[in-house]
């Protein structure tokens, strides 16, 4: 059944587990997530980004998730809109049936320029008013996602930087977080603790100086009833990285957020953990390998099946590690 983010994360908080929130763009990702959830008896959060809506189209994306709800009636599913760049984007998702939306007011509507605190409060509050009137949950974001190691926002390929940020924006302040939640009434809050989007997060396995799990603890102590969210939380699996490069790919050395650190984050109050890159890497590695090993194949169902199986493995491992397994 389709449920709201608030309902699911309240249950997660009561039972001390965390929820992976997987980005979806195509049917294979939806299949992989649902098969893993069914196997492990886990609830599900699937989220669509602006990029996903541009790729699949809003209606296709929504119906793919609706198909999952129909085929797996015993599994609670949250249909979440990831990183809304302005209130109008969130309003359209609310109207089309999403049970949760993210208003990312940490950046201006161009999704690049850091916004002022006042702007962030204003747009997030506006979305909370609209969404709550319809029983839809709202995630806000305070602080800008970016690497505490390099100062960079997420990068697509590890070569071209998309933008350097002031270091003080990269770590969410404790008092500001409390003020933000009081003023906006958001259900969940994404915080900046040194993670960034994409595969190129850290040049070496992260230490506590660049991955500030301690800050989660401090914010959670002040805001025990707000569900904290970690973005940019792919682990960048080294085994899939090696397979991608072994079968013709060219990805540079890079490290993600270790699963053990995410588990620490969950113990410290994180309830939603956003993951996109890990499924992309598993899919790419599996398809590259399959096509190299089966050069005569021209039936996409064959290599897409390999993609689905690889992504399913990641999903299952996260449901188990974060403790959502057994909670459907």
Q: Does 82 bind Na ion (CB under 5 A)?
A: yes
According to the annotation, is 232 in a ligand binding site? Answer: yes
Query: What is the closest distance, in whole angstroms, from the C-beta atom of residue 80 to Zn ion in the complex?
Result: 11
Residue 197 is assigned to a ligand binding site: yes
Say whether 198 counts as a known binding-site residue: yes
Write down the catalytic residue from 10, 38, 41, 82: 82
Binding-site ranges for ligand 13P (CB under 6 A): 23, 82-83, 197-198, 231-234, 274-277
Q: Is 23 among the residues that bind ligand G3H (CB under 6 A)?
A: yes
Which residues in 98-157 contact Na ion (CB under 5 A)? 102
Beta-bridge partner residues of 251: none
Q: Is 84 annotated as a binding residue?
A: no
Check residue 57 and give left, alpha or beta (phi > 0: left; psi -120 to 50: alpha).
Answer: left
Toward Na ion, which CB reaches closer, 81 or 307?
Answer: 81
Q: Which does 289 bind (CB under 5 to 8 A by kind): Na ion, ligand 13P, ligand G3H, none?
A: none
Residue nearer to ligand 13P on the CB measure, 197 or 318: 197
| 104 is an annotated ligand-binding site residue | yes
Question: What minimum distance in Å lies between the beta carbon of 24 and ligand 13P?
Answer: 11
- List phi, psi (to 5°) of 22: -95, 135
> Residue 265 and residue 229: Cα distance in Å, rounded?
10
Residue 176 Cβ vs ligand G3H, minimum distance, rounded to whole Å: 22
Partner from Na ion, Zn ion, ligand G3H, none binding residue 51, C-beta < 5-8 Å depending on class: ligand G3H
Q: How far apart are CA 154 and CA 169, in angstroms?
A: 14
Which residue lies nearer to ligand G3H by CB, 85 or 137? 85
User: Counting contacts by CB under 6 A, is residue 49 touching ligand G3H?
Assistant: yes
| CA 162 from centre of chain | 19
Rounded Cα gap, residues 11 and 271, in angstroms: 10
**132 appears as a binding residue in the annotation:** no
> Which residue number places its CB atom closest to Zn ion?
231
In the complex with ligand 13P, which residue's Cβ is closer, 90 or 275?
Answer: 275
Q: Which two tokens stand for residue 12?
A: 């997660």
Among residues 206, 308, 310, 307, which one has the least CA distance to residue 265? 206
82 classed as catalytic: yes
Write out the DSSP string of 35-89: HHHHHHT--EEEEE-HHHHHHH-HHHHHHHHHHHHHH-TTS-EEEEEEEESSHHH
DSSP-based three-state secondary structure for 30: helix
User: 234 contacts which partner out of ligand 13P, Na ion, ligand G3H, none, CB within 5 to 8 A by kind?
Assistant: ligand 13P
C-alpha to C-alpha distance for 187 and 11, rounded to whole angstroms:
13
Cα 296 to Cα 243, 285, 304, 305: the distances in Å are 20, 18, 15, 16
Contact criterion met (CB below 8 Å) for 164 and 144: no
Q: How many CB atoms lie within 10 A of CB 35?
A: 17
Active-site annotation, residues? 82
User: Which residues are documented as binding site for dihydroxyacetone phosphate?
Assistant: 198, 232-234, 274-277
User: Which residues are documented as binding site for Zn(2+)?
Assistant: 83, 104, 141, 197, 231
Q: Which residues bind ligand G3H (CB under 6 A)?
A: 23, 49-52, 82-83, 197, 276
């Amino acid at each position: 059944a389709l449920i709201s983010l608030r309902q699911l994360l309240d249950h997660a908080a009561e039972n001390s587990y965390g929820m992976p929130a997987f980005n979806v763009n195509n049917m294979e990702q939806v299949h992989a997530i649902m098969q893993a959830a069914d196997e492990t008896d886990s609830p599900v959060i699937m989220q669509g980004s602006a990029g996903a809506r541009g790729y699949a189209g809003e209606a296709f994306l929504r119906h793919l998730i609706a198909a999952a709800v129909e085929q797996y009636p015993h599994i609670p599913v949250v249909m979440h809109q990831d990183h809304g760049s302005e209130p109008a984007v969130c309003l359209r998702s609310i109207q089309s049936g999403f049970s949760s939306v993210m208003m990312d007011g940490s950046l201006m509507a161009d999704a690049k320029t850091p916004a002022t605190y006042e702007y962030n409060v204003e747009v997030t509050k506006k979305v909370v008013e609209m969404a709550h009137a319809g029983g839809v949950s709202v995630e806000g974001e305070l602080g800008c996602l970016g690497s505490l190691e390099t100062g960079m926002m997420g990068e697509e390929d590890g070569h071209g930087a998309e933008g350097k940020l002031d270091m003080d924006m990269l770590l969410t302040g404790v008092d500001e977080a409390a003020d933000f939640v009081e003023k906006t009434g958001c259900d969940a809050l994404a915080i900046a603790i040194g993670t960034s989007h994409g595969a190129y997060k850290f040049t070496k396995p992260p230490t506590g100086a660049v991955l500030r799990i301690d800050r989660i603890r401090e914010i959670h102590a002040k805001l025990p009833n707000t569900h904290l969210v970690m973005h940019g939380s792919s682990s960048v699996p080294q085994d899939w990285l090696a397979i991608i490069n072994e079968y013709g790919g060219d990805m540079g050395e890079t490290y993600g957020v270790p699963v053990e650190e995410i588990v620490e984050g969950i113990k410290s109050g994180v309830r939603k953990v956003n993951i996109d890159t890990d499924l992309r890497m598993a899919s790419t590695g599996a398809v590259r390998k399959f096509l190299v090993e089966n050069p005569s194949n021209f039936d996409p169902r064959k290599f897409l099946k390999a993609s689905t199986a690889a992504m399913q493995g990641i999903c299952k491992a996260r449901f188990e590690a974060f403790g959502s397994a057994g909670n459907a």
